[in-house]
Amino acid sequence: AQSVTQLDSQVPVFEEAPVELRCNYSSSVSVYLFWYVQYPNQGLQLLLKYLSGSTLVKGINGFEAEFNKSQTSFHLRKPSVHISDTAEYFCAVASNQFYFGTGTSLTVIP
């Protein structure tokens, strides 16, 4: 079975600073990769996804992620965070099934 590891459970960062949320998955077979965001008291929303093609994927709200097949990683980045980015972020992998990571709580400090 696939496993998805989000190495940081909590990430505090100052406003306008860059951030990277890390995600690694276990299987090297063909996969689709996703990042979802859950704002406080809301449902999950798709940030971005990698299906094929360019390894650098741009999503909503200025986020981007890079697929690294050799390192089986799909880290999420934003060059300058805003207070409104405070949320729970989930990495997900789809191969023969759909698996979520345990989530990273991003807190943006003013």
Partner 1 sequence: SQTIHQWPATLVQPVGSPLSLECTVEGTSNPNLYWYRQAAGRGLQLLFYSVGIGQISSEVPQNLSASRPQDRQFILSSKKLLLSDSGFYLCVGLQGRYTEAFFGQGTRLTVV
Interface with partner 1: number of residues (CB under 8 A): 19
| Residue 94 makes contact with partner 1 by CB under 8 A | yes
| Residue 99 makes contact with partner 1 by CB under 8 A | yes
* CB-based contacts of 74-79 (< 8 A; 24+ apart in sequence): 74/23, 74/24, 74/25, 74/33, 74/35, 74/50, 75/20, 75/21, 75/22, 75/23, 76/20, 76/21, 76/23, 76/35, 76/47, 76/48, 77/18, 77/19, 77/20, 77/21, 78/18, 78/19, 79/18
Site for partner 1 in 31-70 (CB under 8 A): 32, 34, 43-44, 46, 49, 51
Among positions 35, 74, 85, 103, the unique one binding partner 1 when judged by CB under 8 A: 103
The residue (of 30 and 110) whose beta carbon lies closer to partner 1 is: 30
| Residue 102 makes contact with partner 1 by CB under 8 A | yes
Positions in the binding site for partner 1 (CB under 8 A): 6, 32, 34, 43-44, 46, 49, 51, 90, 92, 94-95, 97-103
